[in-house]
Amino acid sequence: SKMSEKLSTFLESGIYRFEESNAVFIDPVRVLNRSYNRFKVSPSVYYSRFFESKHTANETSNSRKRKRKQKKSHTLNERERAADQRHQEVRPLLLEAHETLLRATDLLVAISNLRDCSGSSPSKCRGLSSSSIEQSFVELGRVWQAPLYEITLKFHPTNKTHEDRGSLIMENSEQRVLPVFDNLIVNETSDDVEAEFLNSQYILPRESCFYMVCSWLNLLFSSPEASNEATSIKLKIHNLIPAEPDCGFNLIVIDPPWENGSAHQKSRYPTLPNRYFLSLPIKQLSHKEGALVALWVTNREKLRGFVEEELFPAWGVRFMATFYWLKVKENGSLINDLDLFHHRPYECVLLGQCHGEMNPKDLRRFEIVKDNQIIISVPGDYSRKPPLGGLLLEYVSGLNPTRCIELFAREVMAGWVSWGNEPLHFQESRYFL
């Protein structure tokens, strides 16, 4: 039947497109697995947060009651009213997308099984890693020894035909030792590469690169009166700016470490004040024929205003569309009440076009990005976003090959450059089968 055909496409690609709808369901594990040949992302580790015990579910509903009470006791200020209006506008679309999901009964069964690693023994299901200490790259990058840390890439032995001899010989597996911080590390091969760093193992997908910045130099250069973090970010990304403009990136995904606002809601990574992002060299990173820029934002109204009025103009980005990431649990229900003011069960991605070095008037037109698309998925770890590459690539199809970069990344994907202070985070073997 038509339905099961859709489901089998989903089981293969991780993407389920609802018919006559602006919504898709994605399974990030399946999407990410398309980056690997010999390894598999562990679904039980990826989804450990939202397939959880009753205990935590109770906690959520308690905090929900608290929030409702709070809301009643004060009237909305101007900014909150603006945020509420934004919410009311998108609310019917999100509800409709959610109802579409709830009608796709075969998909719902697949969602309830997302965490199973079929064909694997329970012990294998736990992930590859034996070590229990998780490396904090952010911490390591702060110590003076950071520039001395090295990573060992262990290339898999491959069968290579030596044409001169016409015979098939097995090459010895090759090792490469490289500085891990402030260095562009490339797996240019078409196979996964295992890497070792401080007794932990990491997996690097084929045709991928990462650039991990360390922050100890910031301390050296910063003066008490002027913070130099912004300059430093600029300098460190400058290493990725292509020498030739037609080598620039045509897909740029950015998930900045925005500040939270509420002091008690502390973040698990360092954050930066908004003004620091103004100096990101998005224009210089862009392909001369332009780039599609996807920026993750939080639901804070103040931030939305900043992006629309200051950040996009400063980057030379013209706003095109908003996508919504709607978060559901394994039973298909929303992770929170849709109307919960400070804990909306959705986040936004703002899409724009950066016109690079070209006069905006001569700009090659990108495929029209349809506004208000909704991406539904079960969330992984804290702040981990679903991979958008597969959905966004169709809009940059005119430019070949597509060059993709993710800024502030915590993972590495085939065909992408990842930049940030911890792009190896989710590459640790514990996240793999």
Nearest Cα neighbor of 390 from 98, 21, 35, 47 is 35
Q: Which of 26, 83, 209, 213 binds ligand SAM (CB under 6 A)?
A: 213
Contacts of residue 294, defined as CB under 8 A and 6 or more positions apart, other chains included, come to 251, 252, 253, 254, 323, 349, 350, 351, 388, 392
Q: Decide: is 377 part of the binding site for ligand SAM (CB under 6 A).
A: no
Query: What's the min distance (Å) between Cβ of 164 and ligand SAM?
Result: 46
Listed ranges 62-70, 186-194, 265-273, 280-288: which one lies at the site for ligand SAM (CB under 6 A): 265-273
Structure tokens at 3: 């339905």
Q: Which is nearer to ligand SAM, 189 or 383 (CB)?
A: 383
- Binders in 404-423 for ligand SAM, by CB under 6 A: 408, 410, 420-422
Structure tokens at 77: 């200020």
Q: Which of 102, 272, 338, 358 binds ligand SAM (CB under 6 A)?
A: 272
Can you name the residues that pair with 212 across neighbouring β-strands?
Answer: 181, 420
- Enter the DSSP assignment of 124: H
Alpha helix ranges (H) inside 224-383: 229-238, 282-285, 301-306, 312-315
Q: Which is nearer to ligand SAM, 69 or 382 (CB)?
A: 382
The phi and psi torsions of 267 (rounded to 5 degrees) equal: -90, 160
CA distance 353 to 289: 10
Supply the Cα-derived Rg of the chain in whole angstroms: 22
Q: Decide: is 47 part of the binding site for ligand SAM (CB under 6 A).
A: no
Q: Which of 255, 289, 347, 428 binds ligand SAM (CB under 6 A)?
A: 255
- Binders in 217-246 for ligand SAM, by CB under 6 A: 229, 233
Site string for ligand SAM, 305-344 (x = CB under 6 A): ----------------------------------------
Q: Which is nearer to ligand SAM, 155 or 408 (CB)?
A: 408
Q: What angle do CA 126, 150, 40 make, to 5 degrees?
A: 25
- Residue the block writes with tokens 């980056």: 35
Query: What's the min distance (Å) between Cβ of 391 and ligand SAM?
Result: 15
Alpha helix ranges (H) inside 118-228: 122-125, 137-140, 216-221
Which one-letter amino acid corresponds to residue 235? L
Q: Decide: is 189 part of the binding site for ligand SAM (CB under 6 A).
A: no
Query: What's the min distance (Å) between Cβ of 149 and ligand SAM?
Result: 16
How many of the chain's residues bind ligand SAM (CB under 6 A)? 17
Q: Decide: is 281 part of the binding site for ligand SAM (CB under 6 A).
A: no
Q: Decide: is 261 part of the binding site for ligand SAM (CB under 6 A).
A: no
Site string for ligand SAM, 100-139 (x = CB under 6 A): --------------------------------------x-
Listed ranges 93-101, 309-317, 319-327, 379-387: which one lies at the site for ligand SAM (CB under 6 A): 379-387
Structure tokens at 100: 């579409």
Pairing mode of beta strands 416-420, 373-377: unpaired
Beta strands in 299-403 (DSSP E): 317-327, 346-354, 373-377
What residue ranges bind ligand SAM (CB under 6 A)?
Answer: 138, 213, 229, 233, 255, 257, 269-270, 272, 383-385, 408, 410, 420-422
